[in-house]
């Protein structure tokens, strides 16, 4: 997934749960500005930040590792 796709997925889930960015910020401990930047695809969040957001939103992070020959 691209950063933009990750941001869109988080925004979709947040809106599905009828949460504002401020609500998500309070629940996750991530600043509103960071959430805004991630949702716009203009931020490269750390794994820890993504984990906090996805946990709060009831989502999972799945990592796929590919071997390049």
Predicted TM-score of the model (pTM): 0.88
Per-residue pLDDT band at 65 (split at 50, 70, 90): confident
In the chain, at which residue ranges do the beta strands (DSSP E only) sit? none
**7-16, 37-46, 58-67: range with lowest mean pLDDT:** 58-67
What CATH code is assigned to 3-57? 1.10.260.40
Asked if residues 51 and 18 have their Cβ atoms less than 8 Å apart, the reply is no
46: left (phi over 0), alpha (psi -120 to 50) or beta: beta
Domain ranges within the chain, ordered by starting residue: 3-57
Residue 63 has pLDDT above 90, yes or no: no
Residue 36 CB burial class (10 angstroms; 0-12, 13-18, ≥19): middle
Render pLDDT for 12-51 as a digit per residue (tens, 0 to 9): 999 999 999 999 999 999 999 999 999 999 999 999 999 9
Asked if residues 32 and 21 have their Cβ atoms less than 8 Å apart, the reply is yes
């Amino acid at each position: 997934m691209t950063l933009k796709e990750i941001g869109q997925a988080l925004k979709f889930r947040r809106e599905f749960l009828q949460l504002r960015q401020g609500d998500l910020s309070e629940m996750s401990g991530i600043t509103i500005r960071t959430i805004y930047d991630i949702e716009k695809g203009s931020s490269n969040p750390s794994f820890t930040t993504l984990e906090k957001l996805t946990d709060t939103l009831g989502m999972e992070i799945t990592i796929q590792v590919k071997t390049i020959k």
